[in-house]
Amino acid sequence: MNPIEQFDQERRERLASYAQDAAFQALSRDWLQASMQRKYVYNFDWLGRPIIQYPQDMAAMQELVWRVKPDLIIETGIAHGGSLVLSASLLALLDMCDAMEAGTAIDPRASRRKVLGIDIDIRAHNRQAIEAHPMASRIQMIQGSSIDPDVVQQVREIASGYSRVLVCLDSMHTHAHVLQELNAYAPLVTPGSYCVVFDTFVEDMPQGFFADRPWDVGNNPKTAVHEWLARNPSFEVDRNCPAQLMVTVAPDGFLRRQTN
């Protein structure tokens, strides 16, 4: 076995051991709960824009983008624009790698790789900051509900011009809403790519944990994912992502579309 294979095998064994490690699992769940109570998820920026994600999930996005090499990332839920800028910057790195491999000049404005964000309420100050960001030429935004048929139609039309599409759902986290988003956007995911459904962890928190929100145990992205997957066998849960992260808001939320 060469050193690379050995490293990979050790990693696989380590992840498998985490799955049997009740103490580490409990610590991770408790830490997620404690950090959520303390609004830790609001602590970070990506290239200057506030991003409402855990660093672990940002790292997972980097791995997925490298694996899939998408030319379009569709995101529901923009907020301050941090996740749009994260996705745009990862696409910029893909372009840079392509250019370096081909020995050509990098022209980010000529790139086909884009991010499409949808939000029901794009606040003026956020729109202004996103449009002024150096990554703005890669970012397109649609204001409207992600389940509005007109919005879905616009997204479908835009996506039809791309060949590798990755989707992230991070808007309204109720069962009914996420189920409709999955029905609308998961079919746009190209084979081998992913639909990442954020905030599935709500199902694993104590009942009433999000007292000021319409989602709770039994009514959240994870319950929607499970209902939707039962009818959509071409997608599977990638268990490797949460296994390596341990702390993630998306357990059972990394959905991979099979290649055949």
Number of H helices, E strands in the chain: 9, 9
Task: Estimate to the nearest angstrom the gap between the alpha carbon of 177 and the chain centroid.
Answer: 16
Site string for ligand SAM, 111-140 (x = CB under 6 A): -------xxxx-------------------
Of the candidates 244, 258, 252, the one whose C-alpha atom is nearest the C-alpha of residue 60 is 244
Using rule CB under 6 A, residue 200 touches ligand SAM: no
Which two tokens mark 155?
């997204």
Element (H, E) at 59: helix 55-68
Task: Estimate to the nearest angstrom the gap between the alpha carbon of 237 and the chain centroid.
Answer: 14
Q: Of 56, 71, 73, 83, which one interacts with ligand SAM (CB under 6 A)? A: 83
Task: Estimate to the nearest angstrom the gap between the alpha carbon of 184 and the chain centroid.
Answer: 16
Instruction: For Cα atoms 204, 58, 15, give the angle at the middle one, nearest 5 degrees.
Output: 60
How far apart, in whole angstroms, are the C-alpha atoms of residue 129 and residue 139? 12
Q: Of 60, 72, 167, 172, which one interacts with ligand SAM (CB under 6 A)? A: 172
Which two tokens mark 121?
């309420």
Site string for ligand SAM, 12-51 (x = CB under 6 A): ---------------------------------------x
Which two tokens mark 201?
């962890």
Site string for ligand SAM, 85-114 (x = CB under 6 A): ------------------------------
Using rule CB under 6 A, residue 253 touches ligand SAM: no
What does the DSSP assignment read for 184-217? HHGGGSPTT-EEEETTGGGGGSPTTTTTTSS-BT
Using rule CB under 6 A, residue 146 touches ligand SAM: yes
List strand residue ranges (DSSP E) for the chain, in order: 44-46, 49-51, 72-76, 114-119, 139-143, 165-169, 194-197, 235-237, 254-257
Q: Which stretch binds ligand SAM (CB under 6 A): 78-86, 102-110, 132-140, 232-240?
A: 78-86
Q: Of 170, 216, 238, 252, which one interacts with ligand SAM (CB under 6 A)? A: 170
Using rule CB under 6 A, residue 171 touches ligand SAM: yes
Using rule CB under 6 A, residue 57 touches ligand SAM: no
Instruction: Give min distance, CB of 147 to ligand SAM, in A.
Output: 6
Q: Which stretch binds ligand SAM (CB under 6 A): 24-32, 89-97, 166-174, 245-253?
A: 166-174
Query: The tokens 């081909």 sit on which residue?
Result: 102
Instruction: Give min distance, CB of 16 to ligand SAM, in A.
Output: 30
* Of residues 80 and 257, the one with the C-beta less far from ligand SAM: 80
Q: Of 64, 65, 74, 79, which one interacts with ligand SAM (CB under 6 A)? A: 79
Q: Of 74, 78, 116, 225, which one interacts with ligand SAM (CB under 6 A)? A: 78
Residues in contact with ligand SAM by CB under 6 A are: 51-53, 76-80, 82-83, 118-121, 145-146, 170-172
